């Protein structure tokens, strides 16, 4: 408004400058502020242009009213401009428009002309005062707009900023109002009269505005909202909640000319919507074309593809939901056209590389288009072999009519979807070409993005198409590919279906072998109906019948589809037969066929190999170790999935711990898969899934056959019989069943099934029944004759050469048992045994080859030799017990004797020598006991065997010539039981009348018999034992006595007591005394003795010298007393310390001077010449003085006196076992004294 | 990628479903591989809509041990929203976990558990 001329002069600059700088646009509802470029259209103010109340057009809405004036003097202003302005303002107010601006343009040129001008600001102020009483910013001064000065520039900038702000303010306000209006309109949608189309137009207006403002995002949101709203309505309609306005969308579809995406706005359709005449497809098409345009503006072509697919799907759904009547094929046409249109549109706006990298988005459209074209092809009869019939043609014409005319914008492009569809539907050949093009493109795309399964599915469709066209060759490849995938992943139903198609295809191609194989697979397929399976089975059988005339030609098929080997049973069960023996193998075949099948032959190929010289193949080993039950079960593999889960090996996992070496704490732990290599290889090598067609038939020389077998569906048992010929191992390799020329072969039998054939040399074994044979009593020995290939005839006998000390006891009845080699008892026969002096002959019962004869004989080893193994000589009383303990510890080894028997066998010219070892069940020890001068002999019989014995008639005889010696038994019982591992003692007193001999030679004998057996057939020889006792006469008695300290009543711990040792000689000079220790002076004999007081249990502390040498006169009743001080260490009844006597033998050496015995004793280093059995004693001495051992080793080689222990029988310790009461010391504290 | 358990109602178009489920594995694989790169630990098990066809919607779900569940729903059944599908999958997963807990079940075998069967049946009845 205002000065039009002025405006026109400024306008170019203004419109140019305005959009140059972006403005921040703050929006309501917390939407993010955006930078936008304003661009506006200026129109001359006319009253008519002002919007009426209720107008919804936002696009042409005047946002800002500007009054331009260039008036500079007050008069003019008052006269005209003010009125004009007032009028303008009133009009605006009438329309309740608050967005206005007054621009005062100043012109210096005009100012100069008039001298008496008011200050220029006054007009502005005036205007401001008049009109902008509150909003002073509504009046702007623009100075010298047409000049190019800095001041102009400044004012321009200020003006533009102001203008922009105001424009935006107004825009925002109006937009907000519009949106509110729109929302209220939307809220009214439940009202009956509401029309979606009207609302659509309103919201689209908003979208247009956004689009204009380059806010495509927001524009898209508007369309999406519309889309969603519409979809919701359709869904609600489907749920029975219909809106009136929807009904006209439900009118029958008459035209299906696809999406049009080339034009930004499809005005044609928009008008239809405006006129409320659009069909659902029209509305959808229009909506989508708008969305598409916006998306493309937003550089998101992939979303277009994605949305297109969704749209097409949902459209189809919606049409169904709204029950819109659509001629058959029309939708297919529409979808197909739309798909292609979208694809071409996308292609049009992207370059090649971009498309290639985003195939994933478009491939869905491709496959959808393919699918639809296929459907159209079927519908119009373009797929069948004969071509379309008239009905199909009619349909085609109808469809083409529905397409309408080609759109002008695509008419001149050669590859428009419209043209494509027209062409494809026009003829069979063109259809094939187009369809295959599309399919191959789709497959290629799928494969390139790795969606192999989808590619296979499309491939299968193509195959179906080919089958329709009777070109099975091309179909087969596709089918095989698909089948492979399904098999690999174990999809049973698709596998079956694909196989069925494949079978048909192969039948056409005449691939007999493949066809039969597929048929056999199908016939065993549980997913098919019984009739179908029977049909395929019949196919095989009929083929087998018709090919009978051409012999020699075999068709090999894998067995697993036909039948499965379930288990295998050997008879004999351990699958070991001797050469010539009969073996039967029974297999269970589980037939998968739906009908009984008569097989000409079922055969098992056997691989033979000889393993010589290996123990594992000998008869004994085989018969002993191969004790399986003879049934081998085969894992029931599901024939459908050769490479499904059950063929992959199980995970072998093991724990792993790693500990730090320093403190054994756990460092790492984990699980290791030990067979990773197998598992991983399995995954890669999934290529060889289908059993390779080349099933090789092994032509082994050894075949087990079974002819004319009818296999019922389910389990069948087939038995094979064979005669074992050569020894060796036979491995069952292949199983094949044949019907005419058709052979079903199971190429490998796994787990490995073998049977062994052996031949055996006759053998004889003799072994004792018990663990060891005991001498002296009858023992049973088992004879085992393994006949092997030798047949034992009646009259064959074993000749045993007798040994003196071993008797073979011939009992009246001896029974031999004959077993077969597999331990089955076959018969019992009696033995004839003829014994002569030298030879015992045993007549064997007749037995066939490969049998075992077992019998038992009793033998008796005479204990004659046992006495020869004597025990060691006499020892002292205390030692002997220890020694026995020692022996018992070191082992229970019984004394053994060996007897060798040589046996002549009928099958061999050599005689077999067999050694039998008998052990003596007893061990006997003896000991000498003394009491003063009385002497006793104790004999200990120890039973080492496991048996209990009855001992009787024990006797001890002096075998020496000591006639004056009497042995008086002190044993009460004459019969005694001796249990296993126990001992029995016998005691005799030795009495003598004269001076006893130095040595006594005795023989002990005792009769024995096993306690368990009451009666024995023969009398057993008694057990004898010879021994010798020496120096049994007592020479000295030692008496020790402890008396408390003087004045005290009892011994106290810690206080010294006196020990008095008296050594008394009991006899005059005897034979035994004549040795080195004896010194003779003036017919007065004396012997040097050394005594020693030792306390082993450290009850006593010996104070002062513990040992010394005394010279003992050799005369009866000569006594030597020694006093010593001892101190008890503990309270209680304490045993007296030991007093030992040794013979002190001076060293006999010419050059060495006699050493003072006392100095030696002072040294306390004694070289003790002891009996080797006295180790324990020795150690006790050593423990007393560790110095001694060291010193003795130092003194090695030096001449020194020797000590010789007196034989136990010569010394009698009369105070042995005496005890002395020791009471604790008064002051109650424990005194610990350690004596070293 | 071999089926552990398949069930469908109605039975007549079983074959079609099998094909569809099998094909959908492609998309599952694709989604897993893209997702695996993005976030390994906090992975959303639900894969969402795998791909729509004209009549059916195919939804996918993958456990952390890469066991895949695929559900094909009639696309005209608009009552089934994402949330329902999600909860159904969760239910399925729970049931599957129970099956796996059975010591007599050999992982990788076909599922023959009656409890699982009943659960699926009840779910199908509820939906259809």
Residues of chain B with Cβ-Cβ distance to A360 below 8 Å are: 30
Cβ neighbours around A922 below 10 Å, total: 25
For B22, the closest of A317, A364, A453 (CB atoms) is A453
For B30, the closest of A451, A486, A492 (CB atoms) is A451
8 A C-beta contact, residue A453 and residue B23: yes
Q: Which residues form the domain of A926?
A: 921-1030
Contact B76 A321 (CB under 8 A): yes
Alpha carbons A343 and A366: distance in angstroms, whole number: 8
For residue A566, the SS3 value is: strand
Alpha-carbon gap: A856 to the closest alpha carbon of chain B (Å): 54
Alpha carbons A570 and A97: distance in angstroms, whole number: 109
Main-chain dihedrals φ then ψ at residue B101, nearest 5 degrees: -70, -20
Question: Does A365 lie in the same domain as A220?
Answer: yes
Q: In degrees to the nearest 10, what's the CA dihedral of A491, A492, A496, A501? A: -10
Which ranges constitute the DSSP H helices of A547-656? Answer: 619-625
Contact B2 A493 (CB under 8 A): no
Question: Does A424 lie in the same domain as A293?
Answer: yes
Q: Angle A428-448/A417-426 helices, nearest 10 degrees?
A: 130
B44 touches chain A (CB under 8 A): no
For B108, the closest of A309, A360, A645 (CB atoms) is A645
The residue-averaged pLDDT of A1130-1146 equals: 76
Contact partners, residue A992, CB within 8 Å, separation at least 6: A962, A964, A965, A966
A786 vs A100 pLDDT, higher one:
A786
pLDDT at residue A893, rounded to an integer: 57
Q: Is residue B38 part of a domain?
A: yes
pLDDT at residue B38, rounded to an integer: 55
DSSP result, A651-714 = P-EEEEEEE-TTT--EEEEEEEETTHHHHHHHHHTTT--SPPS--PPP--SEEEEEEEEEEPSE
Is residue A17 very low, low, confident or very high in pLDDT (cuts 50, 70, 90)? low
Contact B19 A494 (CB under 8 A): yes
- Least confident stretch, A206-210, A827-831, A1089-1093, B2-6: B2-6
Residues of chain B with Cβ-Cβ distance to A649 below 8 Å are: none
pLDDT at A1207 over 70: no
Q: Is residue B53 part of a domain?
A: yes
Alpha carbons A204 and A185: distance in angstroms, whole number: 13
Per residue, the 3-state secondary structure of A423-452, as one string, reads HHHHCHHHHHHHHHHHHHHHHHHHHHCCCH
Question: Does A97 lie in the same domain as A33?
Answer: yes
CATH of the domain at A767: 2.60.40.740
Residues of chain A with Cβ-Cβ distance to B22 below 8 Å are: 453, 457, 486, 489, 491, 494
Domain boundary among A710, A727, A759: A759
Would you say the ipTM is above 0.95? Answer: no
pLDDT at residue A251, rounded to an integer: 63
For residue A453, what are the CA distances in angstroms to A366, A691, A1027?
16, 22, 101
* Averaged pLDDT of chain A: 66
Q: Is residue A651 part of a domain?
A: no
Q: Is residue A538 part of a domain?
A: no
Question: Does A424 lie in the same domain as A315?
Answer: yes
Q: Is residue A206 part of a domain?
A: yes
Domain boundary among A714, A732, A759: A759
For A491, the closest of B22, B26, B51 (CB atoms) is B22
pLDDT at residue B5, rounded to an integer: 66
b vs e for A804-829, b when ≥16 Cβ sit within 10 Å of the residue's Cβ? eebbbeeeeebebebbbbbeeeeeeb
Contact A313 B78 (CB under 8 A): no
The residue-averaged pLDDT of A862-870 equals: 44
8 A C-beta contact, residue A1052 and residue A1225: yes
Per-run averaged pLDDT (10 residues), chain B, 128 residues = 61 71 77 64 67 76 79 70 81 84 77 81 74
Q: Which of A490, A527, A413, A1204 is nearest to A876 (CA)?
A: A1204
DSSP A527: T
Q: Is residue B1 part of a domain?
A: no
pLDDT at residue A454, rounded to an integer: 78
* Chain position carrying tokens 């032959």: A601
Q: In chain B, which among 22-41 make CB contacts under 8 A with chain A?
A: 22-23, 25-27, 29-30
Residues of chain A with Cβ-Cβ distance to B29 below 8 Å are: 450
CATH of the domain at A990: 2.60.40.10
The residue-averaged pLDDT of A243-265 equals: 62
Q: Long-range contacts for A166-169 (Cβ within 8 Å, ≥24 apart)? A: A166/A64, A166/A99, A166/A101, A166/A138, A167/A38, A167/A40, A167/A63, A167/A64, A168/A23, A168/A25, A168/A38, A169/A99
The number of domains in chain A is 6
Q: Is residue B44 part of a domain?
A: yes
Is residue A148 very low, low, confident or very high in pLDDT (cuts 50, 70, 90)? low
Q: Is residue B5 part of a domain?
A: no
Alpha-carbon gap: A482 to the closest alpha carbon of chain B (Å): 11
Q: Angle A452-468/A492-509 helices, nearest 10 degrees?
A: 40
CATH of the domain at B61: 3.30.450.70
Q: Is residue B2 part of a domain?
A: no
pLDDT at residue A484, rounded to an integer: 80
Question: Does A720 lie in the same domain as A769?
Answer: no
The residue-averaged pLDDT of A571-582 equals: 71
Q: Which of A142-151, A344-353, A713-722, A1148-1157 has the highest mean pLDDT?
A: A713-722
Question: Does A323 lie in the same domain as A362?
Answer: yes
Is residue A872 very low, low, confident or very high in pLDDT (cuts 50, 70, 90)? very low
Contact A644 B23 (CB under 8 A): no
Contact B22 A309 (CB under 8 A): no
In chain A, what percentage of residues exceed pLDDT 70? 49
For the stretch A682-712, pLDDT in tens is 444 333 333 333 445 555 556 777 777 777 7
pLDDT at residue A563, rounded to an integer: 76
For the stretch A709-732, pLDDT in tens is 777 777 777 777 777 777 777 777
Q: Is residue A688 part of a domain?
A: no
pLDDT at A798 over 80: no
Cβ neighbours around A60 below 10 Å, total: 11
For A317, the closest of B3, B26, B76 (CB atoms) is B76
Q: Is residue A986 part of a domain?
A: yes
Q: Which residues form the domain of B44?
A: 11-126
Q: Is residue A474 part of a domain?
A: no
pLDDT at A345 over 60: yes
pLDDT at residue A1224, rounded to an integer: 74
- Two tokens, residue A22: 């972006």
pLDDT at A244 over 80: no
- Least confident stretch, A455-464, A660-669, A931-940, A1116-1125: A660-669
Alpha carbons A155 and B15: distance in angstroms, whole number: 79
A901 vs A69 pLDDT, higher one:
A901
pLDDT at residue A1186, rounded to an integer: 38
pLDDT at A344 over 60: yes
For the stretch A1024-1065, pLDDT in tens is 777 777 766 777 777 777 777 766 677 777 777 888 888 887
Question: Does A1129 lie in the same domain as A1017?
Answer: no
B54 touches chain A (CB under 8 A): yes
Alpha-carbon gap: A755 to the closest alpha carbon of chain B (Å): 34
Is residue A125 very low, low, confident or very high in pLDDT (cuts 50, 70, 90)? low
Question: Does A772 lie in the same domain as A722?
Answer: no
For the stretch A34-65, pLDDT in tens is 444 444 444 444 444 444 444 444 444 555 55
Question: Does A157 lie in the same domain as A60?
Answer: yes
Q: Is residue A1054 part of a domain?
A: yes
pLDDT at A1167 over 50: no
* B-interface mutation test, from A231, A454, A532, most B Cβ less than 10 A away: A454
Question: Does A748 lie in the same domain as A835?
Answer: no
Please, how many CA atoms are within 13 Å of residue A688, restricted to the half-sphere of its CB? 7
Alpha carbons A436 and A449: distance in angstroms, whole number: 20
Q: Is residue A1150 part of a domain?
A: no
The number of domains in chain B is 1
Contact partners, residue A270, CB within 8 Å, separation at least 6: A286
For the stretch A799-846, pLDDT in tens is 777 666 677 766 656 677 777 766 666 677 777 777 676 777 777 777
Question: Does A291 lie in the same domain as A198?
Answer: yes
Question: Does A974 lie in the same domain as A1103?
Answer: no
Domain boundary among A759, A776, A800: A759
Alpha carbons A650 and B108: distance in angstroms, whole number: 11
* Chain position carrying tokens 């099975």: A472
Q: Is residue B6 part of a domain?
A: no
pLDDT at residue B76, rounded to an integer: 66
Q: Is residue B20 part of a domain?
A: yes
């Amino acid at each position: 408004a205002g000065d039009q001329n002025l405006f026109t002069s400024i306008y170019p600059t203004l419109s140019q400058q305005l959009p140059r700088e972006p403005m921040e646009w703050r929006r309501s509802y917390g939407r993010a502020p955006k930078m936008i470029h304003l661009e506006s259209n200026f129109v001359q103010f006319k009253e008519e242009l002002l919007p009426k109340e209720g107008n919804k057009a936002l696009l042409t809405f005047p946002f800002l009213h500007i009054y331009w004036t260039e008036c500079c003097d007050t008069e003019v202003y008052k006269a005209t401009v003010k009125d004009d302005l007032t009028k303008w303002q009133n009009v605006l107010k009438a329309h309740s428009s608050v967005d206005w601006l007054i621009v005062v343009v100043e012109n210096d040129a005009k100012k100069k002309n008039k001298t008496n001008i008011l200050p220029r600001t006054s007009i502005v102020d005036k205007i401001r005062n008049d009109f902008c009483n509150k909003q002073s910013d509504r009046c702007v001064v623009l100075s010298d707009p047409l000049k190019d000065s800095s001041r102009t520039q400044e004012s321009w900038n200020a003006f533009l900023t102001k203008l922009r702000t105001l424009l935006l303010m107004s825009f925002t306000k109006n937009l907000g109002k519009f949106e509110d209006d729109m929302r209220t309109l939307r809220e009214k949608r439940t009202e009956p009269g509401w029309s979606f189309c009207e609302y659509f137009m309103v919201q689209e207006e908003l979208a247009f505005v956004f689009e204009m403002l380059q806010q495509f995002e927001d524009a898209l949101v508007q369309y999406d909202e519309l889309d969603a709203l519409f979809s919701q309505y359709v869904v609600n309609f489907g749920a029975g909640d219909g809106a009136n306005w929807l009904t006209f969308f439900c009118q029958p579809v008459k035209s299906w000319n696809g999406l049009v995406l080339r034009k930004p706005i499809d005005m044609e359709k928009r008008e239809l919507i405006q006129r409320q005449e659009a069909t659902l497809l029209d509305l959808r098409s229009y909506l989508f074309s708008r969305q598409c345009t916006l998306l493309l503006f937003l550089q998101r072509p992939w979303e277009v593809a994605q949305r297109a697919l969704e749209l097409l799907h949902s459209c189809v759904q919606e049409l169904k939901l709204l029950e819109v009547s659509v001629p058959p094929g029309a939708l297919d046409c529409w979808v197909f056209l739309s798909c292609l249109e979208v694809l071409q549109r996308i292609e049009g706006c992207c370059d090649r590389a971009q498309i290639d990298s985003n195939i994933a988005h478009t491939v869905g459209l491709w496959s959808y288009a393919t699918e639809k074209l296929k459907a159209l092809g079927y519908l119009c009869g373009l797929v069948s072999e004969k071509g379309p019939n008239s009905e199909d043609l009619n349909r085609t014409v109808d469809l083409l009519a529905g397409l309408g005319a080609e759109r002008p914008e695509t008419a001149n492009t050669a590859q428009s979807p419209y043209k494509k569809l027209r062409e494809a539907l026009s003829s069979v050949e063109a259809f094939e070409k187009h369809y295959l093009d599309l399919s191959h493109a789709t497959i290629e795309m799928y494969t390139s993005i790795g969606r192999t399964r989808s590619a296979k599915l499309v491939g299968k469709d193509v195959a179906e198409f080919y089958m329709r066209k009777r070109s099975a060759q091309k179909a087969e490849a596709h089918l095989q590919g698909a089948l492979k995938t399904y098999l690999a992943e174990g999809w049973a139903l698709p596998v079956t279906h694909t196989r069925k198609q494949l079978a048909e295809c192969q039948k056409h191609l005449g691939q007999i072998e493949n066809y039969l194989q597929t048929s056999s697979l199908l016939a065993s397929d549980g997913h098919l109906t019984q009739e179908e399976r029977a049909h395929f089975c019949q196919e095989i059988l009929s083929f087998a019948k018709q090919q009978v005339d051409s012999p020699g030609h075999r068709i090999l098929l894998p067995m697993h589809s036909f039948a499965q080997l379930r288990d295998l049973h050997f008879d004999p069960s351990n699958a070991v037969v001797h050469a010539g023996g009969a073996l039967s193998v029974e297999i269970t075949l589980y037939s998968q066929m739906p009908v009984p099948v008569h097989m000409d032959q079922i055969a098992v190929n056997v691989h033979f190999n000889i393993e010589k010289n290996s123990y594992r193949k000998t008869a004994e080993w085989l018969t002993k170790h191969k004790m399986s039950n003879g049934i081998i079960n085969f894992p029931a593999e599901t024939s459908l999935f050769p490479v499904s889960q059950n063929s992959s090996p199980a995970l072998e996992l093991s724990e792993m711990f790693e500990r730090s070496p320093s403190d054994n704490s756990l460092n790492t732990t984990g699980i290791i898969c030990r067979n990773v290599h197998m598992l991983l290889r399995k995954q890669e090598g999934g290529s060889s899934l289908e059993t390779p067609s080349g099933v090789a038939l092994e032509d082994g020389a050894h075949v087990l056959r079974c002819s004319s077998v009818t296999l019922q569906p389910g389990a069948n048992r087939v038995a094979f019989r064979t005669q074992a010929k050569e020894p060796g191992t036979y491995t069952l390799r292949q199983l094949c069943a044949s019907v005419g020329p058709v052979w079903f072969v199971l190429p490998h039998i796994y787990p490995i099934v073998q049977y062994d054939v052996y031949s055996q040399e006759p053998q004889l074994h003799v072994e004792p029944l018990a663990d060891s044979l005991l001498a002296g009593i009858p023992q049973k020995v088992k004879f085992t004759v393994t006949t092997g290939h030798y047949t034992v005839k009646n009259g064959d006998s074993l000749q045993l050469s007798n040994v003196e000390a071993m008797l073979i006891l011939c009992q009246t009845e001896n029974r031999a048992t004959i077993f077969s080699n597999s331990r089955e008892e076959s018969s019992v026969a009696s033995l004839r045994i003829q014994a002569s002096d030298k030879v015992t002959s045993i007549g064997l019962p007749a037995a066939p080859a490969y049998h075992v004869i077992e019998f038992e004989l009793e033998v008796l080893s005479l204990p004659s030799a046992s006495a020869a193994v004597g025990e060691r000589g006499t020892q002292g009383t205390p030692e002997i017990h220890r020694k026995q303990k020692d022996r018992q510890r070191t082992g229970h080894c019984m004394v053994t004797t060996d007897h060798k028997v040589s046996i002549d066998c009928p099958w061999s010219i050599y005689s077999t020598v067999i050694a039998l070892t008998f052990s003596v069940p007893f061990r006997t020890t003896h000991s000498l006991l003394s009491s003063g001068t009385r002497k006793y002999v104790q004999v200990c019989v120890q039973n080492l065997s496991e048996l209990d014995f009855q001992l009787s008639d024990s006797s001890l005889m002096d075998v020496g010539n000591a006639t004056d010696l009497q042995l008086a038994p002190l044993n009460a019982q004459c019969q005694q039981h001796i249990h296993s591992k126990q001992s029995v003692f016998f005691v005799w007193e030795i009495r003598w009348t004269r001076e006893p001999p130095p040595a006594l030679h005795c023989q002990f004998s005792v009769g024995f018999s096993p306690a368990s057996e009451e009666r024995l057939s023969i009398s057993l020889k008694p057990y004898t034992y010879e021994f010798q006792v020496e120096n049994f006469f007592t020479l000295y008695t030692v008496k020790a006595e402890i008396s408390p300290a003087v004045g005290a009543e009892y011994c106290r711990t810690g206080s010294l007591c006196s020990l008095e040792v008296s050594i008394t000689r009991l006899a005059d000079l005897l034979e035994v005394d004549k040795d080195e220790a004896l010194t003779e002076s003036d017919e007065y004999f004396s012997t040097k003795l050394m005594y020693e007081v030792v306390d082993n249990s450290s009850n006593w502390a010996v104070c002062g010298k513990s040992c010394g040498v005394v010279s003992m006169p050799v005369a009866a009743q000569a006594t030597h007393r020694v006093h010593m001080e001892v101190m008890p260490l503990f309270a209680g009844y304490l045993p007296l310390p030991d007093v030992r006597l040794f013979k002190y033998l001076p060293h006999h050496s010419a050059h060495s001077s006699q050493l003072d015995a006392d100095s030696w004793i002072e040294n306390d280093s004694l070289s003790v010449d002891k009996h080797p059995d006295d180790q324990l004693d020795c150690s006790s001495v050593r423990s007393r003085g560790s110095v001694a051992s060291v010193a003795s080793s130092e003194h090695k080689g030096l001449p020194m006196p020797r000590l010789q222990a007196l034989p136990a029988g010569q010394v009698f310790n009369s105070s042995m076992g005496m005890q002395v009461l020791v009471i604790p010391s008064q002051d109650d504290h424990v005194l610990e004294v350690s004596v070293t | 990628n071999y089926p552990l358990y398949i069930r469908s109602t109605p039975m007549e178009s079983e074959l079609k479903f099998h094909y569809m489920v099998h094909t959908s594995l492609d998309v599952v694989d694709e989604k897993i591989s893209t997702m695996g790169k993005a976030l390994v630990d906090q992975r959303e098990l639900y894969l969402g809509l795998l791909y729509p066809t004209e009549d059916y919607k195919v939804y996918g779900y993958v456990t952390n041990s890469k066991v895949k569940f695929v559900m094909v729903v009639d696309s005209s059944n608009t009552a089934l929203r994402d949330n329902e599908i999600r909860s159904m999958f969760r239910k399925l997963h729970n049931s599957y976990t129970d099956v796996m807990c059975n010591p007599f079940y050999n992982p990788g075998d076909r599922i023959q558990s009656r409890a699982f069967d009943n659960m699926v049946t009840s779910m199908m009845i509820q939906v259809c």
